[in-house]
Structure 1
Amino acid sequence: MPVLRTTALVDAEPETVAAALRDRRQFVDDPAAGVRMRAVDGPGLLGADESISFHVRVLPGVWIPLRTVLTEVGASGFRSRSRPGPFFERLEHQVTLAPTGAGVLVTDEVSWTTRFGPLGRLVDVLIGRRVALRVLGARERALRDRARELGAARRVVGAAIVRDGRLLTQRRSFPVEVAGRWELPGGRVESGETDWDALRRECAEELGAEVTVLDRVGPDLPLPGGSVLRLYEAVLAEGSAEPTAVEHQGLRWVSGEELDGLDWLDADRIVLPELHALLRPLDSEVG
């Protein structure tokens, strides 16, 4: 069973690299490397049980199709596995992300078992390892490029304001096409602002309240139009006024059990897995 391991250092924030790794819009079309890769279409980031399809050139004019299914997905990477096919009995790919002072260390480990006994093992020696290295090299270049694009994209920030195991949500009043739908407080980061400054300003404008911004929640989330959403946990600052609906139809504090029942804006619906993860330990404490 061949095992191949490679490492690469990507100069970007961990949340940005995690987003680039799972971005549905990341693709590889590298004729020189003989690799084409596509993820399934849809909003948000790739999650567990979703698939990535490959076409890999093994000899001039000879391409083989592969499809791997994500079995584990998290902030530190993912693991995927192919279904048995005509060439492989099994193929597994694990990616691990480890933040360092110089960037994010990305470790790829690929293991596989070919069919055809001794002939398959000979093909591994002559072709398999070389093909696997080409695939990983093409994927690494695509990952670096996408992480660079996401890192330079215009940022939108959202505040997951939590109190007593509940999350503050607000209902839009305009424009008419989204009136009545729910979202998190937040908005665009203006020129010269930090994410934290933008969140405090947006919460003051939208809620009439002051917040203390805490840790990032989940990976960066690519949005239609090229922006990136960054979500932060927040709490009401000491002495803050009670939040009110300054610009919205209303506010609501919701539990984790109520999250999926709201008619969320598309961008905010993307972050529901991260919101559930944020509220889950709080729900357990309350229960």
Structure 2
Amino acid sequence: MGNALAREDNSEQSSRTEKGESGEKGESGARGETGLRGDKGAKGDIGPSGKKGETGPRGEQGEMGPTGESGAMGDPGVDGDRGPRGEKGETGARGPRGEKGETGARGERGADGAHAKKGQKGQDGVRGEPGPSGPKGTSKDPQLTVAFSAKMSREVAVLYSNLSGNPPQSLAFDSVITNTRHSYDPEEGHFTCVEEGAYFFSFHVLPRLAMPPLRVKLVKNESPMLVVSSSSSLSESSASSSLSTPLSGSTVLMLKKGDQVWLRAMPSSNGLHVDEFTDCCFTGYRL
């Protein structure tokens, strides 16, 4: 056995020493079985970016998605500039008539109306027959003394029953008692001096109410000479009642020819009153 091995070694050595010519390529052997999968190799480097492709055609519009929930309210925006005024629109058609409402509660009594204006002078009446001659006077002067006295009729007193809301106004005593030298005008209530001298004046009026106060001024050429108020003559007991107290005043004035004197009532919710027991009168004469 050892010899045999020795021979085989010798033949191998001789075959290694002497190489023969290559033989023809043999036929491919049968495919061997798939070997076991090797371990994953390391990640390679990123390759260069490719060229941008062409834009593809626009796709069809998709279906509308469901409505999302309302978002939170944003902060108020800055006020914008005021826009131009629009043109006036056409008048709309008249609406139907509404149903009649219920009758409201009765309102409080309103304030007295404004002072009425004095009416125009009526036509002169028919001249009466001359009266019998009077007895001869005893005056030393060839002319009568300048004097007048007049009272207020009820018709005129009604015009002065409420002086609220009116400017100061002259008081007209329309019913003449005495008027020598025709120095007193019953329509305006003015006395005009026709002879220079000292004159005595007095007046007597009745306020319509005890309160509020009624003020009357004796005026000479727009200047107040005497002011009398009904509040100064009222006691606490009379002021709380509905009864009024007469208001009187008197003074002496030096007048020149052409000077005018009259009574003026100041604005008040009070007014004048005349009844069968009391008159309002204005008197004046030269001393």
TM-score (norm. length: structure 1): 0.21
Structure with greater proportional helix content: 1
Instruction: Say which one has the larger Rg.
Output: 2
TM-score (norm. length: structure 2): 0.21
Structure with greater proportional strand content: 1
